[in-house]
Amino acid sequence: MCSADTFPQVACAVGVLSNDFIAPSVFALRVSREPHVPSPKSGQFFMLRSRPSGVLLGRPISVYRADDTSITFLVLKKGQGTAELCALRTGDALDIVGPIGNSFQTPAELSAQGLFSQALLTGITPRALAEPGIAVIGGGIGVAPVAGFSLFLEPKTFDFYASFRSTPYGLDGLEERASKLIITTEDGSAGVKGMLPAVFDAAKYDLVYACGPTPMLRYIKEECARVTANKHGVNGSRVTTDANGVNDSNDPSRGTLAFLSLEQHMACGAGACLGCTVPTVNGNRRCCVDGPVFNAAEVIL
């Protein structure tokens, strides 16, 4: 990935095209995209601030959908900044800075960009990269960037997991595109009652893409690491490879490579303030422009 692309390229006001209530405290905010605003890549985000605003800073909000003339965000009302965004009406203005950050890479992009050697370290075989088992996981409002990314995956090549406290949202079209759409809710109002661990088995997958609350991401990181360690020995030495391995969890050649989109409090969204750094095995990285997508094996959660 070209690092320069991760820095924001515009800071300007844009108009609200629509702002629809889609679930309790969640709004789909669609804004106009003028030609000077670069088209965001899946996984990127913008700093958004209502105009006028009673808060000091923009709020980092992931892109859900983008087309030639608009960008759609899912906004969860949490504090004053997001409450202002949720209250915006058609024709109102807001300030945006972006697009910011790296992006989710499709399996084809991963191998094209030489992540193959890195993948070997985490246990992915050539066979797995050619026909990987893919899980896409969204938790709560974290569903937005991964649902957006799933549009760039071949239909019916991935399972989509979506975990919510209550009412699901942000899953438009996934019933058709995903091989399986698995929903959990903590209150049992939809799908399986419970949280992600009730339905997710990392051993079934080669590639995982996820965004959600930190405890969920930590669980995914640990599960993927455990699966990889089981297959490759505690010292990381490869136990065995099986070029003809079938696509199930007994394949001894399998490990699970996971990419996690992280969220942090941010001030600048431009890599300047160092307020959003996350610790990794390679030292501190800026969540905004070095992320927000990190290899789970590298980030320390």
Q: Could you tell me the smallest distance in angstroms from the CB atom of residue 98 to another protein?
A: 10
Q: Could you tell me the smallest distance in angstroms from the CB atom of residue 10 to another protein?
A: 6
In this complex, which beta carbon is closest to another protein, that of residue 9 or of residue 249? 9
Whole-number Å distance between alpha carbons of 250 and 264: 37
What pairing do the DSSP bridges indicate for beta strands 158-164 and 180-185? parallel
Q: Could you tell me the smallest distance in angstroms from the CB atom of residue 236 to another protein?
A: 26
In this complex, which beta carbon is closest to another protein, that of residue 49 or of residue 127? 49
> For the chain, where are the alpha helices, taking DSSP H only?
80-86, 107-112, 115-121, 126-130, 143-150, 174-177, 214-232
In this complex, which beta carbon is closest to another protein, that of residue 23 or of residue 95? 95
In this complex, which beta carbon is closest to another protein, that of residue 138 or of residue 271? 271
What pairing do the DSSP bridges indicate for beta strands 158-164 and 257-261? unpaired
Q: Could you tell me the smallest distance in angstroms from the CB atom of residue 170 to another protein?
A: 26
CA 259 to chain centre: 8
In this complex, which beta carbon is closest to another protein, that of residue 189 or of residue 284? 284
Label residue 257 left, alpha or beta by phi (over 0 means left) and psi (-120 to 50 means alpha).
Answer: beta
Q: Could you tell me the smallest distance in angstroms from the CB atom of residue 268 to another protein?
A: 5
Length of the chain: 301
Q: Could you tell me the smallest distance in angstroms from the CB atom of residue 288 to another protein?
A: 10
Could you give the C-alpha distances from 149 to 143, 145, 177, 184, 267, in angstroms and in order? 10, 6, 12, 20, 25
Interface positions with another protein (CB under 8 A): 4, 7-11, 47, 49, 55-58, 81, 95, 97, 265-277, 279, 283-284, 289
Whole-number Å distance between alpha carbons of 103 and 290: 10
In this complex, which beta carbon is closest to another protein, that of residue 156 or of residue 265? 265
Whole-number Å distance between alpha carbons of 141 and 85: 15
- DSSP labels for 139-170? EGGGHHHHHHHHTTSPTTSEEEEEEESSS--S
DSSP code of 265?
Answer: -
Q: Could you tell me the smallest distance in angstroms from the CB atom of residue 129 to another protein?
A: 34
In this complex, which beta carbon is closest to another protein, that of residue 224 or of residue 268? 268
